Homo-oligomer: A and B are copies of this chain.
Amino acid sequence: MNIHEYQAKELLRQAGVPVQPGEVAATPSEAEAIAARFGTAVVIKAQVHAGGRGKAGGVKLAKTPAEARAHAERILGMSIKGLVVSHVLVAQAADIASESYVGIIVDRVSKRPVVMASPAGGIDIEEVAATTPNRIRRVAVDPRYGLQPFEAMQLAFFLYHDVRRARAAARILRQLYDAFIASGASLAEINPLVSTPTGELVAVDAKISIDDNELERHPELAALRDETAEAPSETDARKANLTFIKLEGNVGCVVNGAGLAMATMDLVKYYGGEPANFLDIGGSSNPEKVVNALRIITSDAQVRVILFNIFGGITRTDDVANGIVTAIRQHPLRVPIVIRLTGTNEQEAVRILASAGLSAVTDMDEAVRAAVALVGAESVS
């Protein structure tokens, strides 16, 4: 789960990191009032879960409260990569002597949190990694010990030569690490970490992503979720405990299991179709989940055929069949449906489907070919 810049900064502030002062505004007049209160130049920053908001015009410097209002007016309501800006952060503009990058991810190769530092701040770190890898230094932290002071100092000396700023940076790295662990993050970064002309360090932009699996443990973080920042169908799916990712095609897929779901999409493509989504109804699916899945899929106007691919194991195929029948009774389908079912309680499932006038196949390949053919036939007709 991504959280907004202002939320990430608040977590860092609580961990002791010196953060650029700022407040959130939902209206231009709030932005103006905040700027007036600061009495300094401010930066108006769109709060959206999308990179490249600067290039999109979502970040503007304002020298006066009136200017702050004007920028906020333009940015609020703006759409950046399909996401509408509902809040801006009004932050005191920082005096910048130099910009660095510090960040932490969980690295699957070392199986450890990896702390990264680069004097090339303000730039996308993946770009730095690709073009000038020697400008990034990494420490894979042994989670049994945590980020040690000496490790933080090694990274800090890579950023700054003078010991005062190096010590400050090392402190910030350890605070960032603490915030990373305490919040169950999968990513935490400060970019840029600004050094002012007087040698102070301040976090000017920050990003934190929380591991979804940690949210049960951290209700206070789960509460930070901004549903306006997500595609509505994905929010809907999440609440129904389904894993759903919207794509651009027209073959709606309902599958149990992530690997089988991907393989199904791949097979749709192989046979010349285009999957409309990734959707995993999970292991122990009940009829209700299937009903929700069908509702979400059919709310996509692009979908021209629905393809079920269910390999019963823990999943009882009769549950799935019941879900399909229930859903169709509630909301008759406007597109054809192809059902592949095999495994646990398969015969019962076939009987349930048949009672509702539906048929099923047992072979995945056959089902996918049939679904793709239906789309082709329809688009020809």
* Residues of chain B with a CB closer than 8 A to A145's CB: 144
* Residues of chain B with a CB closer than 8 A to A144's CB: 144-145
User: Could you tell me how many residues of chain A have their Cβ less than 8 Å away from some Cβ of chain B?
Assistant: 2
A151 to chain B, nearest CB (A): 16
A208 to chain B, nearest CB (A): 24
Interface SS, A side? loop
Binary interface encoding of chain A residues 135-150 relative to chain B, with 1 for a CB under 8 A from any of its CBs, else 0: 0000000001100000
**Complex: A144 Cα to B145 Cα, angstroms:** 6
Query: What residue of chain B has the Cβ atom nearest to residue A145's Cβ?
Result: B144
Binary interface encoding of chain A residues 258-296 relative to chain B, with 1 for a CB under 8 A from any of its CBs, else 0: 000000000000000000000000000000000000000
Binary interface encoding of chain A residues 43-79 relative to chain B, with 1 for a CB under 8 A from any of its CBs, else 0: 0000000000000000000000000000000000000
A residues lining the B interface (CB < 8 Å):
144-145
**Complex: A144 Cα to B144 Cα, angstroms:** 5
**Complex: A145 Cα to B145 Cα, angstroms:** 8
A142 to chain B, nearest CB (A): 8
**Complex: A110 Cα to B187 Cα, angstroms:** 37
A248 to chain B, nearest CB (A): 46
**Complex: A302 Cα to B144 Cα, angstroms:** 54
The 2 closest A-B pairs by CB, nearest first: A144-B144, A144-B145
A219 to chain B, nearest CB (A): 18
2 intermolecular pairs with C-beta atoms under 8 Å apart: A144-B144, A144-B145
Query: What residue of chain B has the Cβ atom nearest to residue A146's Cβ?
Result: B144
A229 to chain B, nearest CB (A): 35
A149 to chain B, nearest CB (A): 13
A297 to chain B, nearest CB (A): 41
**Complex: A145 Cα to B144 Cα, angstroms:** 6
**Complex: A324 Cα to B144 Cα, angstroms:** 51
**Complex: A144 Cα to B141 Cα, angstroms:** 13
Query: What residue of chain B has the Cβ atom nearest to residue A142's Cβ?
Result: B144
**Complex: A144 Cα to B142 Cα, angstroms:** 10
**Complex: A144 Cα to B143 Cα, angstroms:** 8
A84 to chain B, nearest CB (A): 43
A164 to chain B, nearest CB (A): 22
**Complex: A145 Cα to B146 Cα, angstroms:** 10
